[in-house]
């Protein structure tokens, strides 16, 4: 799996959760055509449609339902790992050194 496959899978999951391409685009903060293209690329890669589309509704196909069910837990686990790593390494840590005059030290930091 390469990074574009992973991105397409995330977009697919967003479409399922929002039950619309435009809703997924809004949630992911990307353009609607980009979401449509990612879905189309994923469907081409799999070789089967993932949704039955009408003008008003999206419905998962059997293949789409299988993909959703089989990838839901692994994607949730990956997202939790990314979040944990993000929290762990984005919190400030270490020694802070401040250079200031004696007057500022006496007025601000000493009290």
Q: What percent of the chain lies above the pLDDT cut of 90?
A: 59
Q: What pLDDT, on the 0 to 100 scale, is given for residue 6?
A: 86
The pLDDT score that the predictor gives to residue 12 is 96
Burial of 67 (0-12, 13-18, 19+ CB in 10 A): buried
Q: What was the pLDDT predicted at 82? A: 85
| pLDDT (0 to 100) of residue 105 | 84
What is the length of the chain? 111
Quote the longest CA-to-CA distance of the chain: 73
Task: Name the β-bridge partners of 91.
Answer: none
Q: What is the pLDDT of residue 1?
A: 64
Q: Is the pTM of this model over 0.85?
A: no
Query: What pLDDT sits at residue 111?
Result: 75
Q: Which residues of the chain have pLDDT under 70?
A: 1-2
């Amino acid at each position: 799996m390469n990074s574009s496959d992973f991105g397409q899978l995330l977009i697919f999951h967003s479409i399922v959760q929002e039950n619309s391409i435009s809703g997924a685009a809004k949630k992911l903060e990307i353009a609607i055509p980009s979401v449509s293209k990612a879905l189309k690329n994923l469907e081409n890669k799999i070789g089967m449609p993932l949704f039955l589309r009408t003008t008003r509704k999206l419905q998962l196909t059997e293949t789409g339902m299988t993909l959703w069910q089989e990838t839901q837990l692994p994607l949730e686990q990956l997202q939790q790992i990314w979040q944990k790593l993000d929290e762990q390494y984005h919190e400030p840590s270490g020694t802070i050194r401040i250079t200031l005059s004696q007057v500022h030290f006496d007025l601000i930091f000493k009290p």
